[in-house]
Structure 1
Amino acid sequence: MPPPLRLDSLEIFGDVVRHGGFRAAAASRGVSSSAISQSINALEEALGIRLLHRTTRSVAPTEAGEHLLHLLTPALQDIRVAVDGLNQFRENPSGTLRINAPGPAVDHVLCPLAFQFMQTHPDVNIELISDAAIVDIVEQGFDAGVRFGNQLAQDMIAMPLGPRLHYAIVASPAYLQAHGTPEQPGDLLAHECIRRRFPGGTLVTWKFAKDGETLEIVPKGRLTLSSAQQELQAALAGAGIAHTLDDYVHAHVAAGSLVEVLLDWRQTLPSWYLYYPSRRHTSAAMRAFLGFIRDYPWP
């Protein structure tokens, strides 16, 4: 006689498909990979059909698994809505918020917001995932995402997070003394620029604007990194000229350990935007977080 069907195994199955493997699903749930594997094995045994193709490198749903997942996703969402509806009977909202955002937005906007929000909402858990890639937040199980205003899908509700942003071109005093100070963006092509590569493989281009004129260069340099924090470390070490959001460097510029150049060519960007699905139930925890953002005293 097959084992009884457990409803939590259905949710675990959805997590495995969404995360693309047992290990990632286990990490998202804070359990071991073997526990996830046992749940899936029990589910397949209870249903009498294989739901996942397993190889040493990947996990993917079978045709039956795809069919089940298609029907399962809205059903699980309905269950979450029903459970979240109980929040109206609690004094404080509860639950978990999962937010996907680029590293700079997490470092300088979301972390300070989350720290303060959690002090006044002790029953809400927050998970912040740093990710520079554009992802489908609904498919990936996030409550919200953060991107620039011009990167948002039309079916999303968006609200600004803080003021407009600025990129700064900085280098250490020692580097500029040894190699000279660029006066025009084109001068950077003769310098050691600290480059950054996106997760998808493309190099970050440096953009400039002055008096209605815009320029874009592909920086040249021996050092290529993958995060703004790494670029900051390299600039402080005198490895070259860095291009980072002002949030990362303004304290170092004020202290004199870095010098900002090409100030009159500074590029201004839209603010970060928090976005979330317009056609999806908004949880009590998310509603509380949105209200907190609206009332936040932005500079």
Structure 2
Amino acid sequence: MKQNFTVRQGALDGVEVFLSVAQHRSFRKAAAELGVTPSAVSQTVRVLEARIGAALFMRTTRSVGLTEAGERFLSRAKPAFEELVAAGEVARGLGQRPTGLLRLTVPRAVVPILLEPLIASFCKAYPEIEVELATSKEVIDIAAEGFDAGIRLGHLVAADMVAVPLTPPFRLIVVGSPYYFAAHGRPENTDDLRQHACLRWRRSSGALAPWSFNVNGQAIEIAVSGPLIAGDFPTMLGAAIEGLGLAQLPEPMVAEGLRAARLVHVLEAYAPVLPGVFLCYPSRRQILPKLRAFIDHVKSRQAGDGKVQAQSVAGRAGSRKKR
């Protein structure tokens, strides 16, 4: 079948011209307002009337009036056209300044350790942007589900996505509570895990995730067993703190527990390194100002954190020199 490479005429063709003539009751004044010739206005109205199948204006040499069909058409077309114009202004505003609803799909685990402080500062900096966080353990199709961007672990970022790093690479580490180790001892190597209670994570696919390790430069996976299976990392973290068993979790997630001595790190020599967490979105060409503002905010926060870390290192170095 031969394709038609022209756009067919739509119901809105000529409506703006009609409304201008109806307002001014003059083809000449409408032409002046629209910046076209009176003959062009007259021709457009004739085409519109032919498509509708009714005369919309009564024309004399001295005046222009509306027919009954024109009056009815005006009563419905004017508010509809004004609404379309307003819709265009709203869309234009979204394309020119940071405003509107920013929808992000995120893993639940990263919300407390990464997004809470970031979102708080972003909302204060951009009060005209509303942020919606949709947490899920499944990998959501960002474009198909209407999200502006997603948060992903590095190995889950699709090749056709633009990715902005939110964290540096980090380790996947095994932790347990001091109470657990007091009762069961510490594993010294990966084989010892057979004698330990290991908390497991069920992926969105339904499969149980094995534990991953780096042994002599080789990546290996081990099937473990234990008393609890969870669908998210925060549940596993809480169970580990309560002494239910060992958990393998991202290092940033357990950092506070380690500092507070509620958790202890074991098997450090075997910890694999993950690429980190990324903000990803479909295309640079489709970025609205609200998403661009969020990306810039992320980068500025990272730059600020880097400066703080550099100052801290310099301060410690200076302190050592004085001593």
User: How many Å separate the matches in 2 of 1:207 and 1:274?
Assistant: 24
Question: TM-score by structure 2 length?
Answer: 0.63
| 1:229 counterpart letter in structure 2 | P
Q: Would the aligned equivalents of 1:81 and 1:281 in 2 still touch at CA under 8 Å?
A: no
Change (3 A) 1:150 1:184: same
Gapped regions of structure 1 (runs ≥ 5): 1-78
Runs of 4+ in 1 over 6 A off after TM superposition: 79-82
Give the SS at the match of 2:301: coil
Q: Distance in 1 between matches of 2:213 and 2:296?
A: 35
Q: CA RMSD, aligned part only?
A: 2.1
Aligned pair 1:233/2:233, yes or no?
no
**Whole-angstrom CA distance in 1 between matches of 2:87 and 2:200:** 44
Change beyond 3 A, Cα 1:129–1:80: farther
Which protein shows a greater Rg? 2
The one-letter code sitting in structure 2 at the alignment partner of 1:221 is G
Moved more, 259-268 or 249-258: 249-258
> CA 1:280–1:237 in structure 2 vs 1: closer, same or farther (change >3 Å)?
same
User: Residue type of the partner of 1:202?
Assistant: A
Q: Would the alpha carbon gap of residues 150 and 196 (structure 1) be closer, same or farther in structure 2, given more than 3 Å must change?
A: closer
Shift of 1:85: 2.2
Q: For 1:51-82, what per-residue CA distance to the aligned partner results, in whole angstroms no more than 9, with x for missing partners? A: xxxxxxxxxxxxxxxxxxxxxxxxxxxx9886
Q: 1:279 to 1:163 in 2, by over 3 A?
A: closer
Alignment of 1:18-33 (within 5 A): none
User: Which of 141, 152, 174 lines up with 2:157 in the alignment?
Assistant: 152
- Aligned CA distance change for structure 1 residues 110 and 257 (closer, same or farther; 3 Å): closer
Q: In the alignment, is residue 276 of structure 1 matched against residue 301 of structure 2?
A: no
Distance 1:197 1:87, change over 3 A: closer
Deviation, 1:160, is 0.8
Name the CA distance, whole Å, in 2 between partners of 1:147 and 1:203: 20
Matched, 1:86 2:111: no
Q: Which runs of 5+ in 2 are unaligned?
A: 1-85, 307-323
Q: Which deviations, in whole Å up to 9, do the C-alpha atoms of 1:149-205 show, x marking residues without a partner?
A: 332223221111121122221111121121111011121122111111123211121
Query: Where in structure 2 are the equivalents of 1:187-206 lying within 5 Å?
Result: 187-206=192-211
SS in 2 for 1:233: helix
Q: TM-score, normalised by structure 1?
A: 0.68
Task: Give me the whole-angstrom Cα distance separating, in 2, the residues matched to 1:175 and 1:80.
Answer: 61
